[in-house]
Amino acid sequence: MEQSLVYLAAALMMGLSAIGAAVGIGMLGGKFVEGAARQPELVPLLRSQFFIVMGLVDAVPMIGVGLGMYLLFAV
The pLDDT tens digits of the residues spanning 46-75 come to: 999 999 999 999 998 999 899 989 988 987
Asked whether 10 and 68 are in contact (CB, 8 A), the reply is yes
Whole-angstrom distance between the N-terminal and C-terminal Cα of the chain? 14
Q: Residue 17 pLDDT > 80, yes or no?
A: yes
Q: Which residues are catalytic?
A: 58
User: Considering the entire predicted model, what is its pTM?
Assistant: 0.78
Distance CA 41, CA 37 (A): 9
Instruction: Find the mean pLDDT for residues 11-19.
Output: 91
Instruction: Find the mean pLDDT for residues 33-48.
Output: 95
Q: What is the pLDDT of residue 43?
A: 95
Q: What is the pLDDT of residue 74?
A: 85
